[in-house]
Chain A
Amino acid sequence: MRYIGIDIGSTSAKTVVMEEDRKILCSFTVPTGWSSFDAGKRIETELQNRLGKLPRQDFRCVSTGYGRQAVSWAERRVTEITCHSRGASFLFGDGLMNVIDIGGQDTKVISVTAGKVDEFFMNEKCAAGTGKFLEVLSGRLNIPPEELDLLASHHTKELVISSMCTVFAESEVVSLAGQGESKENLAFGVLHSVAEKVSTLYGRLAETDRQKVVLTGGLCSYPFFQSLLSDKIGQKVVSAPMARYAGAIGAAMMA
């Protein structure tokens, strides 16, 4: 028996395959593109390439993420809040923790006990503090989003971008760049803005002082961002390279 977890987010679609004993057999990411249904088809093809043609009775699947409806063959659809909580517990151990998931269009903060959700908050109808904000602004800086972190770590000034609105922040970056601000300082300003917004959301949790705070989602391999976020919330934020798969891992666990 194989357990498949598929997390179709707004930007990338993550897949995790687990073996009978819930060890991870393989994981891969495909860009979601314009249609989650199209991403679902590409995932199906990729799964066949990797696992061969599996008879239907030999695997079970749970889908999650905003595109969870696109996986018609999944046994169940579970929200990313529940899946990230289960996945975070798989990666970082059971017990009390707070999970911060920064996704492409949604950021969530979740209090978790042994994989179970105690409380959660999500950003309202706004891209501030989400991957979308980073994507737009790194585009404006003419660099791929994954270069933001290293660039920001070389900043010479703690530049503040005050606009929370993505569109206004973009104009602010344009005008700051026009005043000769360095790319490094602008990158710092962009990451700082996300950390600020996420820490406000984090502050809504009833138990902000939980010992373990973990970061899942796309920014798990942004060490400089993690240190910024740790400073903002006053707790050490830990992550792991596999934490971007937390949703898919949680889904596979529930399959």
Chain B
Amino acid sequence: MNLISDLPEVFDTFAQQRKNSFLTVKEFKERGIPIIGSYCSYFPKEIAMAAGAAPVSLCSTSGETIPEAEKDLPRNLCPLIKSSYGFAKTQKCPYFYFSDLVVGETTCDGKKKMYEMLSDLKDVHVMRLPNKQDEEALDAWTNEIIRLKNAVEERFGVTITEEKLREAVHINNQANASLESLCTVMEHDPCPISGHDLFKVLNGSQFKFDRKALAAEITALSQKIEADYSSGRMLDKRPRILITGCPMGGATEKVIEAVEQNGGIVVGFENCSGEKNFGIQVDEKAADIYRALARRYLDIGCSVMSPNPHRLDTLGRMIDQYHADGVLEMDLQTCLTYEVESAKIRRFVTKEKGIPYLQVETDYSQSDIGQLNTRIAAFIEMI
């Protein structure tokens, strides 16, 4: 892995990764490699990998397709759902276009109903995600993962052997561990890099199809950042903000920018762009690999879970680990479960952890930039 290039160049390349991989996915298609699209962190990539298919994240973070989506969907709906549907409908997302199968999960009600409509446009497999994390839910979710395996085998005429699955689990664990380890560079105070640069890598890495190569690349990047830090390359000391809430990316990177342009630094992401996506490992040694896989995904602390203790555990741990001075929750408009849960998160952050908390609600438009800047700047001034 050649990583001689300068860090800013590396970050830019990752930022462009989504676009750069358009051609890769087309090549896959031409070579007959099945493509499985997904929207959510709950999708067990390992099943796709074990089937020799390429798992891809589908477009859902830009407002450009929302007007088209609103012809079919209510206006008063989460922008992520509207954007996802709009990209699919308008064929503007090459990943959706080239996908042979789209896998969704019954996470929130909006997505659940949107997947029904999506099935008019594509072959859609919906996994029934329980909204509890107990043993009964684990049984049900294990069955759902096996049901997905069967569907993939049947759809593509392949056999997913236990050996292949274990290999996929190992590769994906290593990729996730490398991303988790990259995040720890932000434990340094002052930080070596900006939170936005970290975000570019985390987000871009979802569009790297070779998960084995990704692990090596990310590990080399972490080493380069640490080496530069040792030789004095770092930012100035700033108020340290931990981000939680809904998935981020594209249009909502305005929130990261608002933090970093107003004197703060984002030290971590306890959301689907960060910790929720790669913070949990599958137990590779487990006797029942399907159950282990189910455990790993069911443990994600998403607000669709009720109760949702893992979000508090992870948030508490990250506040300590990254010496956060404040927690900023970004919720997407009309995201019911995150917005309701925010009262609990506020109490936990301010009372138990004793640091300030700010919740902002936003969508994919740029119309609230002024208001976001005022709120976030005032929040940073408080610290």
Q: Enumerate chain A interface residues (CB-CB to B < 8 A).
A: 66, 78-82, 106, 116-120, 122, 124-125, 206
Instruction: Out of B350, B356, B371, B381, name the residue touching A122 (CB < 8 Å).
Output: B371
Residues of A contacting B4 in the complex (Cβ-Cβ under 8 angstroms)? none
B356 touches A81 (CB 8 A): no
B381 touches A117 (CB 8 A): yes
Docked complex Cα distance between A66 and B381 (Å)? 16
Residues of A contacting B371 in the complex (Cβ-Cβ under 8 angstroms)? 106, 122, 125
Closest to A123 in B: B371
Docked complex Cα distance between A255 and B154 (Å)? 71
| A-B contact list, 8 entries, CB within 8 Å | A79-B374, A81-B381, A119-B350, A119-B356, A120-B378, A125-B367, A125-B368, A206-B350
Residue B146, interface by CB 8 Å? no
Chain B contact-residue range equals 10 to 19
Docked complex Cα distance between A119 and B383 (Å)? 11
Residues of B contacting A124 in the complex (Cβ-Cβ under 8 angstroms)? 361
B381 touches A79 (CB 8 A): yes
Docked complex Cα distance between A118 and B368 (Å)? 24
B375 touches A122 (CB 8 A): yes
Contacts A66-B374, A106-B374 known; list 10 others, CB within 8 Å. A66-B370, A81-B378, A82-B378, A82-B382, A117-B381, A117-B382, A120-B382, A122-B371, A124-B361, A206-B350
Docked complex Cα distance between A121 and B355 (Å)? 16
With A125-B368, A125-B371, A206-B350 as known contacts, state yes or no: A117 contacts B361, CB within 8 Å. Answer: no
Residue B377, interface by CB 8 Å? yes
Binary contact readout B347-383 vs A (1 if CB under 8 angstroms, 0 otherwise)? 0001000001000010000011011001101100110
B350 touches A79 (CB 8 A): no
Residues of A contacting B377 in the complex (Cβ-Cβ under 8 angstroms)? 79
Q: Enumerate chain B interface residues (CB-CB to A < 8 A).
A: 350, 356, 361, 367-368, 370-371, 374-375, 377-378, 381-382
CB distance from A81 to the nearest CB of B (A): 4
Closest to A117 in B: B382
CB distance from A16 to the nearest CB of B (A): 19
CB distance from B245 to the nearest CB of A (A): 15
Docked complex Cα distance between A119 and B350 (Å)? 10
Residues of A contacting B368 in the complex (Cβ-Cβ under 8 angstroms)? 125
A-B interface, 8 closest residue pairs, ranked by CB to CB distance from nearest: A81-B378, A79-B378, A82-B381, A117-B382, A79-B377, A79-B374, A82-B378, A79-B381
CB distance from B374 to the nearest CB of A (A): 5
Residues of B contacting A125 in the complex (Cβ-Cβ under 8 angstroms)? 367-368, 371
Residues of B contacting A116 in the complex (Cβ-Cβ under 8 angstroms)? 382
CB distance from A92 to the nearest CB of B (A): 20
Of A79, A82, A120, A122, the most chain B CB neighbours within 10 A belong to A79
Residues of A contacting B382 in the complex (Cβ-Cβ under 8 angstroms)? 82, 116-118, 120
Of A124, A125, A206, the most chain B CB neighbours within 10 A belong to A125
B374 touches A78 (CB 8 A): no
B361 touches A81 (CB 8 A): no
Closest to A110 in B: B378
CB distance from A125 to the nearest CB of B (A): 6
CB distance from B66 to the nearest CB of A (A): 16
Closest to B358 in A: A120
Docked complex Cα distance between A116 and B367 (Å)? 29
Docked complex Cα distance between A122 and B371 (Å)? 9
Closest to B377 in A: A79
CB distance from B361 to the nearest CB of A (A): 6
Closest to B365 in A: A125
Instruction: Out of B350, B367, B374, name the residue touching A81 (CB < 8 Å).
Output: B374
Residues of B contacting A79 in the complex (Cβ-Cβ under 8 angstroms)? 374, 377-378, 381
Docked complex Cα distance between A118 and B326 (Å)? 12
Docked complex Cα distance between A58 and B361 (Å)? 43
Residues of A contacting B378 in the complex (Cβ-Cβ under 8 angstroms)? 79-82, 117, 120
